[in-house]
Every structure is written in structure tokens, then in C-alpha cells.
């Protein structure tokens, strides 16, 4: 094969054994990465019954045909698993850095891991050499120290590691590589911890074989020049200018102008006069340099020196979502606190977003008298108590004291505390939201509520709506209303969200970054620009692999991958009620200062939202309960998925009627 290595590595930790499988039969329908991960997980395990911490559960790491090449942003890795955090059970997480390319250089497209090791273990992969090594000396240590030890032990390697949070099965534990790149969401670190797997250490000596290297390199350079062109278009060029200088925190105030940046645990939104240190000003005192993932011209990762005189350490990040979760939503304006918490999360292996939502939710509970200081071992969870957040972060990672219950996450803890507590949790399907206030944008609300893994903007945030780009919205949906942030037009919003959900599957399946290919303002100034993006992607795949794909064929791959996600969560009990906005979005106004949109933001109109959902279900080929139909699955060549749904869900529903 060209582009792809043609090999899947299957590892059984229980037996300390491995086998290989040919990738080529999957390529035309799944490419690799995210889409391939989905069908492998569905076919490998009983997704209906396997629990997150069952040794039968798999965690799958997938690259893609462009990963490890000269294509801009070709350094992404996708992880898929049955997840412990969202109650849907679907786990998908994506990371940058250089671990994905290193896996390709070692000769592997995908690594599938099942079973449970008898003792703490890490897997060493050097080309065809696969070894199961003791991690006894690493267990209990933070990721920073483990990085140092393993870099000395295996010179020139790349790593995927968990910290104490993963070892202690914290439901929102992450997996990290290098300074800050993490598989942060859904709790993949806890899945690895349940398998006694400290990490993967990878070292490769091979390249990626390209079908037409001369034209591929030429196209890579042209695309790179367009991405960084300051005169390409205002949205496109502004995105690059902000990301390359400030990283994603540089968007905080711009997004705040639309009312989409939350404050005070999602009770307020918009512009915050106290956020000076948390946006562009991060660089004035603590910034060291901008880092980049493999083959990326944008370099959006800021590297910072944390302010800790006892043990100074450098840490990448934080990104926009971490700034919102740990800062704005907790009313903590001090950059040194956010940088410290971010560094702790990187070392302990904790998802910054879920941790921040845990703190902000507890602060609202504390304010309302639902909890007191006894609940948090004497720590008063008042707004802006950054020192208290630092104290509790370590307890959560170790599950000591109150940290044992806090490690379950805000949704499960809220359910335990009662109805009023659960109303304070801003979540979808049990996972708390990233930094977008959805009462301000109807398409964003639909995308977040539908997301198989829980509230998340990387499952299909409709970029044209966020950027107010009606001409591009009209091109991709046929309706200019799709670009209107407040419109409830059923057809326009349903088509818009479906388009971006399918689109977002593709970079993750190619092994490239979705930021410059569909997510931020890149290629969104004019309809011709987004068509140029499609032309780049189609040509890149052809020059890399020798296989031709039209835009429609690529979107069908995205559709196929998304239908598998939906089938899995339906098999695990998800229905229409789980696609509804959370309680705050449906029942409370959201006041704030912002020049775009109504002030305060009104709750989501339930009846109008239901009409959009009806239309969305029909576009997807789902029943009124959101169950994929056999007809639609067969059209996408997913007969085996259709058979399982027919047996486990559709026949059962008919019997009940």
C-alpha cells in the first residue's frame, strides 16, 4: 500500500502476545484513523455488553494515510474505546504531537489493545519488535518523570503514557505524549489503567511510501503557503495569525463577543473584564515559545514556564477550553493559577475540561448550599479559589479523601446528590461541555447534544454558523439561514450539522489536524475557498495513496463512520431523550455582556429544537427515536451493523409495541 503501511498490530495483554492484520481491505470504505477504529471496535467486541473496565474492552490507536507525511498538520492519532465518562459509553479522542507519525514509521497503521496485564506494563514497539516490559518502576509516578526515564532508556522514542489519575481509574483520566498533547476526553487513561498499561513506547526507522512523491510534495507546499497566506481572506488569515501567535486562547474574546464563551459555571457568558491574563496576555510573563505538532506550519501550542519556585517545570498549553474550564467558569482570573493547574493535569494525566467543570459545578453547589466544606475535606469551594482547586486536583488523581467521589465526574456525582445538584451540571450524555455556550447558537446546540461521546465541539461544531459566513453556509446546505447563529430553520440547521459531523470524521481518518481543515476560519471566507479545501484533500489522497476519491465519496466515508458511532450508543441505550439540550440550556436565561445576539441569551426553544431534530433524524435515515434504519445502513454497506441493530434493538422495539 501507499500512504498506509498496510498493517494492524493486535496486542493481547493477558497473554503477552500479538498478531497482525492486513489494512488494505478496509481502505476504500474507511481510510484509516477514526473511521477504521470504529468498524474494528464494532466487529471485535460486543459493544452492547462490554463495560469500560472489562479486559475484553479494546483501546484502539489509529493513524491515517496522510499521517507522518509532509502534508500540513499530518501528526494526528485517534483513540477509540468503550468509555467510562459519558454514559453513552462511546470513547473517541484525538491528539497531535509526533506519536502518530512514529507509529507509521514503525510500520503500523493501527494498534488494537485488549486484555489486562498481570502487573504494571508498558509496550515497546520498535518496527516489528514488540516487547512487554515491566512498568513497576514507573507506576505511581507522574508523566513528566516517566518521560525523562523512558527517553533515556529508549533514545529517540515517542510515548503514550498515563499518570496517577489513569492508574487510579479516575473516570476522566487522559493519555499524554510529549509536553502537552493529550488524548484528553472520555477517560481513555482510566481504560489503560484498568489494563495495568502504563503506556506505549514507539520507535520507528521506516518512512511512509508515497504513490507520487514529487506531486505530493509540491501540493503539500502549495497548501502550506495558502494556510499561512496573510492575504488569503479575512477569516482564514485571522485564524492563522491568532493561532500562530497566541494559540487557541487568542480566540477567547472573539468568541465571547457572540456570547458563546461561558462564565461562572455556564450561568453567564460573553466578555469578562477580568480575563486580561488569560488571553493574549499569557505571553507577557510566562511564555517561552510556540511549539508545533509534526509537520504543522501553524504552531498553535504555547509553551509556558509555571510559577513554582520549589519545582519549576515547563508545560505546554493551556488551550482555549482549558482557559475557559479552569479560569472563566470558576471565576479564577490569575494566569499563574491556570498555568499551574494545566501543568498538574499534564503530569497527573487528567482531562482539564472535565476537571474544570468539576470545580465550577462544585462552586455553584457550594453557593447554593447543596454541599459544604465537609464535602470537600475542608476546602471552601468559593468562586475564584484557585488554591483550593490545586489542592483538590491531587486528591482527585489519587482518589484520596473526597477525591474518591470527585473522580467519578460531575454528572455521576450530581445524580447522587439529587435533582437540584444535577441541574447545575452542564453536560450532554454525561460528559461536561468544552468552552462553547450553546444557548447562543442553535446549530452548535444541536451538534453538542447529538455528539455520541457527550458535549463536544470537535464532533461537528458548524463552523459557518460560528463565523457568521452565510455564503459558505448556503453552499454546503442550500440555505443561507444555516449561517445565522440564531435561526431555528429546521432544514438549514439539520443539513449544516450533518455536513460538519461528516466532515470532522475525515481529518481524523486521514491522520491530519481538523483545525486547518474545517474547524476554524480556514477556507471559510468564500464558497470557492471551501471547494479549494476539498480539491486539496482529494488530490493529497490520490498523490499519497494512488486511490482517487471524490468529495461525495469522502463525505460518504464520514457518514459511514458517524452511523457506526450512533449504532453503538443506540445499542447501549441512547435514544431521542438523550439528544435533548441539558437543563440549563432548556430552562435558564444566560446573562452577559456581548455585542452579538440577545442579552440575556434565552433558553433553547424546545418545540423549535424538536422540529430541527425531526428533520435531522430523517436526513440521517433514523427512526423518530434516533435509531439508524436497516435501509440506510445497507446503503452504506454496513450490513453487519444493521444485523446487530435488527436483532438487539429494532425487533425488541417491535415486540414491545
Q: Which of 127, 157, 152 minimizes the C-alpha distance to 138?
A: 152
Burial of 312: CB neighbours in 10 Å, binned 0-12, 13-18, 19+: exposed
pLDDT of residue 108: 98
Q: Where are the beta strands (DSSP E) in 242-286?
A: 262-263, 268-270
CA torsion through residues 52, 58, 64, 69, sign: positive
Q: Is the pLDDT of residue 181 over 50?
A: yes
Percent share of the chain, pLDDT over 70: 97
**Pairwise pLDDT comparison (328 vs 306), residue with the higher score:** 328
Q: Is the pLDDT of residue 93 over 80?
A: yes
Contacts of 145 (CB under 8 A, 6+ apart): none
Longest dimension (CA), the chain: 67
pLDDT tens readout for residues 413-438: 999 999 999 999 999 999 999 999 99
Residue 258: pLDDT band (50, 70, 90) is confident
Residue 358: pLDDT band (50, 70, 90) is very high
Residue 655: pLDDT band (50, 70, 90) is low
Residue 328: pLDDT band (50, 70, 90) is very high
CATH of 441-524+550-625, one of 3.40.50.740, 3.30.70.100, 3.40.50.2000, 1.10.599.10: 1.10.599.10
pLDDT of residue 282: 67
CATH topology of domain 7-203: Aldehyde Ferredoxin Oxidoreductase;  A, domain 1 (3.60.9)
Average pLDDT over residues 47-72: 98
Rounded Cα–Cα distance for residues 106 and 128 (Å): 7
Least confident of 454-468, 609-623, 630-644: 454-468
Q: Is the pLDDT of residue 313 over 60?
A: no
pLDDT of residue 283: 65
Residue 571: pLDDT band (50, 70, 90) is very high
Rounded Cα–Cα distance for residues 476 and 492 (Å): 10
CATH class of 233-416: mainly alpha
Q: Where are the beta strands (DSSP E) in 169-252?
A: 175-177, 181-183, 197-203
SS3 226: helix
CA 300 to chain centre: 16
pLDDT of residue 490: 98
Rounded Cα–Cα distance for residues 338 and 133 (Å): 36
SS3 494: helix
Cell matching residue 423: 441541574
Q: What is the mean pLDDT of the chain?
A: 94
pLDDT of residue 309: 45
Rounded Cα–Cα distance for residues 647 and 651 (Å): 6
DSSP assignment letter at 24: G
Residue 656: pLDDT band (50, 70, 90) is low
Q: How far is CA 551 from CA 27, 531, 541, 557, in A?
A: 16, 9, 11, 10
Average pLDDT over residues 84-100: 97
| Residues recorded for the chain | 657
Q: At what angle do helices 335-348 and 386-398 cross, to 10 degrees?
A: 0
pLDDT of residue 312: 46
Cell matching residue 260: 458563546
pLDDT tens readout for residues 451-480: 999 998 888 989 999 888 899 999 999 999
**Pairwise pLDDT comparison (37 vs 274), residue with the higher score:** 37
The partner residues of 289 in beta bridges, in order of sequence, read 303
Every domain of the chain and the residues it spans: 7-203, 233-416, 441-524+550-625
Amino acid at each position: 500500500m501507499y500512504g498506509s503501511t498496510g498493517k494492524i498490530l493486535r496486542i493481547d495483554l493477558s497473554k503477552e502476545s500479538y498478531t497482525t492484520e492486513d489494512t488494505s481491505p478496509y481502505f476504500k470504505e474507511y481510510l484509516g484513523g477514526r473511521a477504521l477504529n470504529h468498524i474494528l471496535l464494532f466487529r471485535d467486541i460486543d459493544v452492547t455488553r462490554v463495560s469500560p473496565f472489562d479486559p475484553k474492552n479494546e483501546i484502539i490507536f489509529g493513524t491515517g494515510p496522510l499521517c507522518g507525511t509532509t502534508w500540513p498538520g499530518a501528526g494526528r492519532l485517534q483513540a477509540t474505546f468503550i468509555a467510562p465518562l459519558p454514559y453513552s459509553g462511546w470513547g473517541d479522542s484525538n491528539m497531535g504531537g509526533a506519536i502518530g507519525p512514529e507509529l507509521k514509521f514503525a510500520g503500523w497503521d493501527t494498534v488494537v489493545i485488549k486484555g489486562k496485564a498481570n502487573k504494571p506494563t508498558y509496550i515497546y514497539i520498535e518496527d516489528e519488535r514488540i516487547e512487554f516490559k515491566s512498568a513497576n518502576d514507573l507506576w505511581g509516578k507522574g508523566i513528566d518523570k516517566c518521560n525523562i526515564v523512558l527517553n533515556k532508556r529508549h533514545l529517540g522514542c515517542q510515548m503514550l503514557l498515563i499518570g496517577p489519575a489513569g492508574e487510579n481509574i479516575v473516570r476522566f483520566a487522559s493519555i499524554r505524549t510529549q509536553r502537552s498533547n493529550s488524548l484528553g476526553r472520555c477517560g481513555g487513561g482510566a481504560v489503560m489503567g484498568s489494563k495495568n498499561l502504563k503506556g506505549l513506547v514507539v520507535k520507528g526507522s521506516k518512512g511512509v511510501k508515497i504513490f507520487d512523491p514529487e506531486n505530493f510534495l509540491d501540493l503539500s507546499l502549495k497548501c502550506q503557503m495558502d494556510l499561512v497566506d496573510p492575504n488569503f481572506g479575512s477569516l482564514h488569515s485571522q485564524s492563522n495569525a491568532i493561532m500562530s501567535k497566541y494559540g487557541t486562547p487568542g480566540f477567547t474574546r472573539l468568541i465571547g463577543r457572540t456570547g458563546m464563551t461561558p462564565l461562572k459555571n455556564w450561568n453567564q457568558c460573553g466578555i469578562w473584564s477580568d480575563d486580561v491574563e488569560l488571553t493574549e496576555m499569557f505571553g507577557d510573563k510566562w511564555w517561552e515559545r510556540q511549539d508545533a505538532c509534526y509537520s504543522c506550519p501553524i504552531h498553535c501550542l504555547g509553551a509556558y514556564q509555571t510559577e513554582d519556585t520549589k519545582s519549576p517545570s515547563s508545560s505546554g498549553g493551556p488551550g482555549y477550553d482549558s482557559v475557559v474550564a479552569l479560569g472563566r467558569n470558576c471565576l479564577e482570573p490569575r494566569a499563574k493559577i491556570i498555568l499551574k493547574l494545566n501543568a498538574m493535569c499534564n503530569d497527573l494525566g487528567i482531562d482539564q475540561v472535565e476537571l474544570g467543570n468539576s470545580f465550577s459545578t462544585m462552586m455553584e453547589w457550594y453557593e447554593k448550599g447543596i454541599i459544604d466544606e465537609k464535602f470537600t475535606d475542608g476546602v471552601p469551594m468559593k468562586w475564584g479559589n484557585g488554591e483550593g482547586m490545586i489542592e483538590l486536583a491531587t486528591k482527585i488523581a489519587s482518589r484520596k479523601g473526597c477525591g474518591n467521589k470527585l473522580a467519578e465526574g460531575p454528572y455521576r456525582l450530581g445524580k447522587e446528590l439529587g435533582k437540584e445538584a444535577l441541574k447545575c451540571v452542564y453536560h450532554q450524555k454525561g460528559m461536561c461541555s468544552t468552552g462553547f455556550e450553546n444557548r447562543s447558537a442553535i446549530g452548535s446546540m444541536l451538534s453538542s447534544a447529538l455528539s455520541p461521546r457527550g458535549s463536544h465541539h470537535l464532533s461537528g461544531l458548524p463552523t459557518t454558523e460560528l463565523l457568521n459566513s452565510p455564503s459558505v453556509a448556503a453552499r454546503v446546505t442550500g440555505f443561507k439561514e444555516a449561517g445565522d447563529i440564531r435561526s431555528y430553520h429546521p432544514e438549514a440547521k439539520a443539513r449544516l450539522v450533518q455536513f460538519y459531523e461528516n466532515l470532522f470524521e475525515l481529518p481524523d481518518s486521514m491522520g491530519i489536524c481538523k483545525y486547518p481543515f474545517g474547524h476554524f476560519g480556514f477556507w471559510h471566507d468564500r464558497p470557492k475557498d471551501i471547494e479549494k479545501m476539498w480539491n486539496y484533500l482529494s488530490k493529497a489522497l490520490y498523490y499519497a495513496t494512488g486511490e482517487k476519491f471524490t468529495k461525495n465519496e469522502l463525505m460518504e466515508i464520514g457518514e459511514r463512520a458517524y452511523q457506526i458511532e450512533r449504532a453503538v450508543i443506540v445499542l447501549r441505550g441512547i435514544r431521542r431523550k438523550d439528544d435533548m439540550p441539558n437543563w440549563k440550556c432548556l430552562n435558564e436565561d444566560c446573562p452577559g455582556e456581548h455585542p452579538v445576539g440577545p442579552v440575556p441569551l434565552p433558553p433553547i426553544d424546545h418545540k423549535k429544537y424538536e422540529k430541527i431534530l425531526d428533520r435531522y433524524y430523517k436526513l440521517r435515515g433514523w427512526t423518530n427515536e434516533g435509531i439508524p434504519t436497516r435501509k440506510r445502513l445497507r446503503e452504506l454497506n454496513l450490513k453487519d451493523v444493521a444485523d446487530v441493530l435488527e436483532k438487539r434493538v429494532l425487533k425488541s422495539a417491535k415486540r414491545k409495541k
